Amino acid sequence: MGRVRDSATYLAEHMHRAPVLLIPCLKGREDESAVGGVSFWASLFPAVWSFCLALRSRGLGSCWTTLHLLDNGEHKVADVLGIPYDEYSQGGLLPIAYTQGIDFRPAKRLPAESVTHWNGW
């Protein structure tokens, strides 16, 4: 998992260089229940994923991160950008820029069969 960690560290150290930083928001605050939380975010994830695919088709790249939410970051960002914190939830941060090269490859991950369970745990 070293490559994934290295990539995340690089992103954190260089994110300020991206010409666009997009923060997808949802109206409302997340319900405290587990089901409410999942339901709350269910519409945002596919919309942002589709947005990322549209960016890629236009030669742009992005990376969905939640780094800015650490250490009460959502409050801080809401204050700086004027996002009404009590009314909207930030669902992440996407640095957006033109890509350098086209030799993209998946990050190294654990094999799916080691983390997937079928018809039981």
The type of residue at 3 is R
In tens digits, the chain (121 residues) has pLDDT values of 577 788 888 888 998 999 999 999 999 887 665 566 678 888 889 999 999 999 999 999 998 998 888 898 999 999 999 999 999 999 999 999 998 877 777 777 889 999 998 888 8
Structure tokens at 109: 């991950």
Burial level of 62, CB count in 10 A (0-12/13-18/19+)?
buried
**Helix, strand, or coil (residue 93):** strand
Do residues 108 and 1 touch, judged by C-beta distance below 8 A? yes
* pLDDT tens-digit readout, 17-33: 999 999 999 998 876 65
What structural domains does the chain harbor? 19-101 (3.40.109.10)
Whole-prediction pTM: 0.78
Do residues 114 and 40 touch, judged by C-beta distance below 8 A? no
